[in-house]
Amino acid sequence: MAEKTIRIGTRDSELALWQAHTVEKKLNDLGYKTEIIAVKSQGDIILDKPLYELGITGIFTKTLDIAMINGQVDIAVHSMKDVPTALPIGIVQGAVLERANTLDILVHKGNLDFLEEKGTIATGSLRRQAQWWNKYPNHNVVDLRGNVNTRMQKLQENDWNGAVFAAAGLERINLKPENYINLDWMIPAPAQGAMLVVAMGNDDFCRDAVAQLNDIETEVCTHIERQFLKTLEGGCTAPIGALAKYNEIEDTIHFNGVLFSIDGKQKIEVNKIVPIEEWKKLGYNSAQEIFANGGTELMSTIKATLKK
């Protein structure tokens, strides 16, 4: 059926490789030949145009964007929540895979008494930090970066009560321990738990191939969440959470979106149920509601704080 080998670009973390292999297997099952190309760092990649002209942003996705534009890989697999809402020129959304667990979890050490007292938890995410402080105002939050393996390792080595992870990431690589709790009150990052396959807009062969992996329900829900993010953000990284869920019985979308101040004290939230026909503008309209309820001011405070 397919002569051409589809070169699948991925980062080289365990989670990224797991995700790339999942896409590879689905393509193989459809009869396509594939090859995985894992990229480590940006390297000495020569492009004849400056990055900003191509609209390339996003620390996690930049290297793969360049590899694809340079023709070294045909498609790339990403955790969708790491992908900037505006894709670089020439690159298109090829498929959104069926979503896994959307929740954040707290992996803890020892018992949970610290929740009622004064604990120290670790996260590198502004969104998680703000929501933690909103719920536990007198807790310490310390910075924690790196891929999930590194973060889990650092949690074991340090004297913290726990650290926040996306359940999906730990479940995919079998790293979810027994001592965790679901943070069902925490609103996840837009597109958390979803995988995105991107391709070149002019590559019909690969676009046709990956289109068969698309899950329409996940595509619609993540579109809503990312439209909400894009409308609010305008190029800065604010504590924003969003989750859209489709209700099959009612044929409705339940959308929950939130913007926090950095310190977590201020919270502006949208929570609504709309008929499915209204999905296309739901993210945008919800962001406008946030703006109207103090979000415009809060966003400019956040931008000013993050610039310092």
Ligand X SMILES: NCc1[nH]cc(CCC(=O)O)c1CC(=O)O
Q: What amino acid positions are annotated as catalytic residues?
A: 82
Residue 2 or 262: the one with the smaller Cβ distance to ligand X is 262
Is residue 91 within 8 Å of 209, Cβ to Cβ? no
Query: Interface with ligand X by CB under 6 A: which residues?
Result: 79, 81-82, 148, 165-166, 168-169, 192-193
We find the least distance from the C-beta atom of residue 141 to ligand X, in angstroms, to be 15
Residue sitting closest to ligand X (CB): 169
We find the least distance from the C-beta atom of residue 1 to ligand X, in angstroms, to be 31
Residue 154 or 272: the one with the smaller Cβ distance to ligand X is 154
207-235 core/surface letters (b: 16 or more CB in 10 A; e: else): bebbeebebeebbbbbbbbbbbbbbbbee
Q: Determine how β-strand 195-200 pairs with β-strand 240-247.
A: unpaired
Residue 136 or 165: the one with the smaller Cβ distance to ligand X is 165
Cα separation, 308 vs 300, whole angstroms? 13
We find the least distance from the C-beta atom of residue 218 to ligand X, in angstroms, to be 11
We find the least distance from the C-beta atom of residue 121 to ligand X, in angstroms, to be 13
Residue 73 or 168: the one with the smaller Cβ distance to ligand X is 168
Residue 222 or 261: the one with the smaller Cβ distance to ligand X is 222
We find the least distance from the C-beta atom of residue 200 to ligand X, in angstroms, to be 23
